[in-house]
Amino acid sequence: MAGDVPFDQRDGSIWMNGKFVPWADCKVHVLTHGLHYASAVFEGERAYGGEIFKLTEHTERLHNSARLLGFEIPYSVSEIDDACRELLAKQGYSDAYVRPIAWRGSEMMGVSAQKNRINLAIAIWEWPSYFDPEQRLKGIRLDMAEYRRPDPKTAPSKSKAAGLYMICTLSKHAAESKGYADALMLDWRGYVAEATGANVFFVKDGVLHTPNPDCFLDGITRRTVIGLARKRGLEVVERHIMPEELADFSECFITGTAAEVTPVSEIGSYTFTPGKISQQLVTDYMEAVYPQPAQVQMAASL
C-alpha cells in the first residue's frame, strides 16, 4: 500500500522549480537554509473528484506566508494553480492531498540568507481520512498540550510557516503516546487556541463558539465551515475562550484540510457528545467539496 511506502520512495512526479521531476530524484542539499533555519512555508490542500478545493485561496495564502517570512515566491498565483492542476492530472488521482512548499536554498548558510534562491515544489499523493474512521464516527479524543501558540510579537503567526509546527509535532506525539488522537493547544495568554493542525469549534445552546484567530492560522476550512453554519441560520461567535469554559459546551469538532470536519468526544477531563450540529456540518462540508451525492454519502461515513 502507498501509505506504507516512505515519502522519499514513492512513484510518480513532483513539480519543482518549473519542471516535473521523477519523485525519487526530487532532492535538496543537506545545507539548505529551509532545513537549518525553518525558512519555509507550505500549504495543505485536498482534491475531491479531480478538483482541488479552494485552490486559489490556498495559493494566495502561500504567497502571503512567504512575504511574512521576508521572501517572494518567483511564480505567480495563477502559475502555481496551473502547476497543481497539471500535477494532479499527471499523477492520475481523483481524491488526493496537495502539498506546495517554498523555501530558501543553499547559496548562503547562516542566519542571513538575502542571496538564497527561493525554491518551490508541489507534491501530490493519495491520502485517506486523517483520523481512524471508526474513531472519527464516535468523536476523537484530545489531550491538553503542554506547549502554547506564541505571541504574534515573537513569531509570524499569520503565516503557515514550517517552524511554527515544531511545537505541534511535540504536542501530537505526546498526546498519541497516551492514547489520544491529538492535542488542544492554548495560546500564550491561556485562551483556547486550536488543535495541532486544525481549528476548533464548540456548541452551546445551539450557538457555535470558536476562538478568535489573532495568534494562530485562520484556516480556510474554518472560514468555509463558518459560512456553511451561517447559511444554515446558525449563530457563530468568534471570541476568546477560557479552558474552564469547556465544561459548558455540549458538542465540539475540529476543522482543517486534513481533518475536514471531525467531531470530538473528549478534551482532557471534558467530554462532549457528537450531536446534530456537528453531524450536519460534516455533511454540509462534504457537499461543499464533493458535487456528487453518492460521493458525499461515502465520504461522510469515513
- Catalogue the active-site residues: 160
Angle at 163 between CA 161 and CA 169, to 5 degrees: 110
Residues ≥6 apart with Cβ < 8 Å to 300: 282, 283, 286
In whole angstroms, give the CA distance from residue 234 to residue 277. Answer: 9
